[in-house]
Amino acid sequence: MEQAKLLTAYRSMRTIRNFEERMHIEFATGAVPGFVHLYVGQEACAVGVCSQLEDKDTLLGTHRGHGHALAKGANARKLLFEIFGRADGLCGGKAGSCHVHDSSVRYMGANSGVGSGAAIACGVALAAKNRGDGAVAVPLIGEGAANQGVVLEAMNLAAVWNLPVVFVFENNGYAEATGSEWAIAGGDLCGRAAAFDMPGLAIDAYDFFAVSAAAGELIARAREESRPAVLELRQKRFYGHFEGDAQTYRGDGEVDLLRRERDCLTHFSDRVVAEGWLAREDLDAIDTEVEALISGIYEEVKAAALPDESQLFANVYASAY
């Protein structure tokens, strides 16, 4: 991978990490309105997938969507303002964390009815197929959401209509407090692809390079042949389901072990330095730059204006695509 792409990927993962770690701290003070679901630990999933997407492609996120939006190119300041319900947020402060949407980067939303992104992706992909511009649609779907009927219906539709959709299942170990080993018949999600005559790959997703390579293969096939595929990404989240979750369902020391041995940022840094692809100083410079960006926007957001009451009904039924 070219140096510029490596730097972009690292900056993106570092931005998500710092954005979310600071969110964890701020939430505990009561400063953050509503619920938030943090993406810490899973950065290589969205960033690895997005490393293979083009501007014309659409990503569909979930309630755990801050990292999804940032990976697709959403502006971190505007995303933060949105989560804090401020007028200058991506959706005018009316969507909040769980319904963020940014059509300017073709991020078609954190769709909180879990699994719904799979169906919306079929519509996006059908439109792309009709336009003939080679764009693909990629819904990110939690492993809990994978058991929603709508996801299986969407997979079937994508197969019979030959739609360019890559269904990406983020298997982060838990759906709320339910361990994935209790809830996934057959033990894996990528195996379901065969029933719909699609290729399916499962990847150990703390490794950015493995995610990017697998996503690249499946996205290229979807783009060139207008056919769907399945990618299962396995990497546990580092925080609870939502902020405030007591996580009594976790094993002792589980998170410490994850942070020590399965941190995608550490893995990425060690690999690029060992291979001589980037220098440690390049990464340090990004760390400094991102730290300044994140602390600056968190300082700014607290004094930022709320939406005006006159805007209450504006854009409620906007059509962005």
Ligand X SMILES: Cc1ncc(C[n+]2csc(CCOP(=O)(O)OP(=O)(O)O)c2C)c(N)n1
d(CA 230, CA 193): 6
Residues in contact with ligand X, shown as a per-residue x/- string from 167 to 186 under the rule CB under 6 A: -----x-xxx----------
Minimum distance of ligand X from residue 98's CB (angstroms): 8
Nearer to ligand X, 19 or 298 (CB): 19
Residue type, 95: A
Asked if 112 interacts with ligand X (CB under 6 A), we say yes
CB 100 within 8 A of CB 82: yes
Which of 101, 163, 91 is closest to 127 using CA atoms? 163
Minimum distance of ligand X from residue 172's CB (angstroms): 5
Q: Beta strand 137-142 with 166-171: parallel, antiparallel or unpaired?
A: parallel
Nearer to ligand X, 86 or 236 (CB): 236
Minimum distance of ligand X from residue 295's CB (angstroms): 27
Which of 168, 124, 187, 118 is closest to 148 using CA atoms? 118
- CB neighbour list of residue 301: distance below 8 Å, 6 or more residues apart: 80, 81, 84, 86
Q: Give the bridge partners for 232, in sequence order.
A: 169, 202
Minimum distance of ligand X from residue 195's CB (angstroms): 20
CB 70 within 8 A of CB 289: no
Q: Which of residues 214-243 bind ligand X (CB under 6 A)?
A: 241
From 43-51, 58-66, 203-211, 265-273, span contacting ligand X (CB under 6 A): 58-66
Which of 231, 229, 172 is closest to 201 using CA atoms? 231
Minimum distance of ligand X from residue 271's CB (angstroms): 26
Asked if 113 interacts with ligand X (CB under 6 A), we say yes
Nearer to ligand X, 211 or 297 (CB): 211
Closest residue to ligand X using C-beta atoms: 142
- CB neighbour list of residue 261: distance below 8 Å, 6 or more residues apart: none
Which of 176, 161, 319 is closest to 244 using CA atoms? 176
Distance of alpha carbon 42 from its chain centroid, rounded? 8
Asked if 100 interacts with ligand X (CB under 6 A), we say no
Choice from 124, 145, 155, 215 touching ligand X (CB under 6 A): 145
Which of 72, 76, 51 is closest to 61 using CA atoms? 72
Nearer to ligand X, 113 or 296 (CB): 113
Asked if 117 interacts with ligand X (CB under 6 A), we say no
Asked if 75 interacts with ligand X (CB under 6 A), we say no
Residues in contact with ligand X, counted by CB under 6 A, come to a total of 17
Q: Which residues bind ligand X (CB under 6 A)?
A: 37, 62-64, 112-114, 142-145, 148, 172, 174-176, 241
